[in-house]
A and B are shown apart, each in its own frame.
Chain A
Amino acid sequence: MNNNKLPAWINVLLLPLLNLALALAVSALVFIAVDVNPLDAAQLMIEGALGYQEGVGYTLYYATNFIFTGLAVAIAFSAGLFNIGGEGQAYIGGLGTGLVCLLLGPSMPFWIVFPVALLAGMAFGALWALIPAYLQAYRGSHVVITTIMFNFIAASLMVYLMVNVLKPEGEMSAVSAVFESNAHLPMMHDILGWFGIDFVRSPLNLSFFLALAALVLVWLLLWHTRWGYAIRALGSNPTAATYGGINPKRLTVIVMLISGALAGMLGMNEVMGYSQQIRLGFVSGYGFTGIAVALIGRGHPIGIFFASLLFGILFQGGNELSFEYANIEREMVEVVQSLVVLFSGALSLMLVKPVEKIYLALTASRANQANTQEA
């Protein structure tokens, strides 16, 4: 993959940052095209996302979603699988979480609803990944295509369920009933309040900690366990993995289940935390953003954390922009996001050769200088 002769800090830090800078530079051109000064916009976005408590709350709330979907893409990637179906898995996962909240909410206390809702979300998400996973492993159909198909199937299924089953009598828009209060995830301002810390109201909730825990667990799984070893071996070289006693088919299914479960956790934030009801289309592209997050995060949990923050800032900052500028709406964020995917993902190799050249030239000239000084 990267057989270049660059030191690790260039490969791991400089190149990704350069790619990101390129993406942002091209994004700036789009801002200019719609008559917005990109520097003003950037300043406004950063202030809007990080400058005050509510903004920070929103930023982290978005980041929570991206951590889940980013990890889902990344773990599949490390096994050599491109799970493009995070969108559908998150959608169905959220359905699972929501159903538990609707069913158990009226009768059960929070400490029962919470774990069951979490597990249901993960199970539903995993289930939605199961068929594409099985077909990839045992029938040879490509997981990219089948997960795309399953995104659409999920969307249609949800429309049907929302409109025909979950919508309460007399409700006009396609939403479920609002959950009972014991099926709400505690909000961050409440949690901090228990410790006597004042934090302004925002959608940020307990699931942020779930996301952080997921980051740590995935990191441990991939780099500090025999199962992670097997996953990475499968991703790097399936033949060697088979030689090493790993069953690639079974592992493919397992990894996709984990991936789907991670995507399914998005419902904890969106459904149980934020909206406290199931709404049509609540995933709204977060699954795809997960691809961008995994790409700039280079599939590593630490990278994914920062990439999620970055996209949290973009989304929240994008909201601020749309208040300020008539020309800008959420779609502008999508443009930036697409350029990040393009430069950090598809064109990630573009800068390797030139950077290598510059680096070698610099080290050579430094060596020369050292030589002449010695002489």
Chain B
Amino acid sequence: MFDTIILLLDATLRVATPLLLLALAGLFSERSGVVNIALEGKLLGSAFAAAATSYATGSVWMGLLAGMATGFALAMVHGFASITHRGDQIVSGTAINMLAAGLTVTLGRYWFEQGGQTPSLVGDQRFQAIDLPLAGMLQDVPLIGSLYSKLLSGHNLLVYLAFALVPVSWWILQRTRFGLRLRAVGENPHSVDTAGVSVTWLRYRALMIAGLLAGIAGAYLSTAHSAGFVPNMSAGKGFIALAALIFGKWRPVSVMFGCLLFGFLDALAVRLQGVEIPVIGEVPVQAIEVLPYVLTVLLLAGFIGKAIAPKAVGQPYVKSR
């Protein structure tokens, strides 16, 4: 039983990692006032770029770089449309999602001739598990030992990175000049503009950070979590992350718990597949799969707490006369 729980939590961490990276990406962009429904596309695009590059160069680091570059590039398209030309943020996000879904498979098919997949990645083309110091030694200590060595140790670098980024994000938002301005521009861009700070440049920077983070998430998906790219492998994670972002009320630490919750539900769904539970019987996987969405809708409806979005989110900034 204990081992099962450990395994479940272990899987939770793995599944929650890309959600967390994406949700933090969404957090930076939405706190600056740009709705980011393009997370899904940025994730998918960078997952493909990372896998393709990693395969071509034999180095997962090059893959990571390519993933981040792709996330960055898509974020710039997003910014060009929704900041520079004040286009609808939702429409541009939808366009990016469609673009990534179509382009990854089209290019993948052309380059690798495997129906849009990249070839399987092996060895240095993937991120490897890292054993934390002393993990081997502490393995046999009851409880704490197995928690440490089985749950906390043995993940790849990006998992640790993702969770380390939570306090970092909090610190940036709350303790730096950039964070102060970022929060202000998402609440009242006029206040920032009249203070002599460029709204455009601030929002671009927020989108850049979001693009890079989404890029890391993509690289994680195809070069750490899986061994290669599969068409449409993002499978709605971008939207789950968006849900977690709302669930965490746009605050880093709460968002992390949202991601862990949704990751846990995902891991649970996999484990419960075809399992008879006493009294209830077999729980349909789909019932657990939809929980993140249902919970988010309930939260948005104000039935469980209240999620208040940054005030200026979704509105292109126009200097008023």
Contact = CB atoms under 8 A, between A and B. Distances in A.
Contacts of B33: none
Interface in A96-151: 131, 135, 139-142, 144-146, 148-150
A34 interface: yes
Contacts of A146: 297, 300
Interface residues of B, number: 48
B107 to A, nearest CB: 7
A237 interface: no
A345 B243 contact: no
A346 B92 contact: yes
Given A157-B290, A160-B284, A334-B102, A152 B239 contact: yes
B246 A145 contact: yes
User: Which applies to chain B's interface (DSSP): helix, strand, loop or mixed?
Assistant: helix
Q: Which of A131, A335, A348, A350 has the most CB of B within 10 A?
A: A335
Nearest to B294: A153
Contacts of A349: 85-87
Contact of B98 (A35, A148, A152, A338): A338
B90 A338 contact: no
A183 B311 CA distance: 51
Interface stretch (A197-205, A228-236, A244-252, A324-332): A324-332
Interface string B224-260: 0000000100001001001100100000000000000
B105 interface: yes
Given A152-B236, A334-B102, A345 B92 contact: yes
A333 B103 CA distance: 10
Contact of B102 (A131, A150, A332, A348): A332
Given A153-B293, A345-B91, A338 B105 contact: no
B96 A338 contact: yes
B301 A135 contact: yes
Given A135-B297, A144-B90, A148-B37, A339 B95 contact: yes
B201 interface: no
B81 A156 contact: no
A73 to B, nearest CB: 11
Contact of A148 (B86, B99, B239, B302): B239
Given A152-B239, A335-B102, A337-B98, A342 B92 contact: yes
B98 A141 contact: no
A97 B119 CA distance: 42
B87 A348 contact: yes
B308 to A, nearest CB: 10
Interface residues of A, number: 49
A159 interface: yes
Interface string B79-120: 011100111101110111111011101110110010010000
Given A145-B246, A328-B106, A347 B81 contact: yes
Contact of A346 (B88, B236, B294): B88
User: Which applies to chain A's interface (DSSP): helix, strand, loop or mixed?
Assistant: helix
A342 B77 CA distance: 9
B296 interface: yes
A295 B88 CA distance: 11
B210 to A, nearest CB: 17
Given A156-B289, A156-B290, A84 B105 contact: no
Interface string B54-69: 0000000000000000
A327 B111 CA distance: 9
Contacts of B194: none
Contacts of A42: none
Nearest to A146: B297
Contacts of A334: 98, 101-102
A282 interface: no
Contacts of B4: none
A341 interface: yes
Contacts of A139: 300-302
B320 interface: no
Given A152-B239, A159-B286, A350 B293 contact: no
Nearest to B108: A331
B279 interface: no
A33 interface: yes
B287 interface: yes
A291 interface: yes
Contact of B87 (A33, A84, A347): A347
B90 A34 contact: no
Given A157-B290, A331-B106, A336-B102, 17 more contacts: A35-B110, A131-B297, A135-B300, A144-B37, A145-B296, A149-B296, A150-B297, A152-B293, A329-B105, A332-B106, A333-B102, A334-B102, A335-B99, A338-B101, A339-B95, A345-B87, A345-B95
15 contacts: A131-B297, A135-B300, A140-B302, A149-B239, A149-B294, A152-B293, A156-B290, A288-B94, A335-B103, A338-B97, A338-B99, A339-B99, A341-B98, A350-B85, A350-B87
Q: List the 3 closest pairs (A to B, CB-CB), nearest first.
A: A334-B102, A338-B98, A346-B92
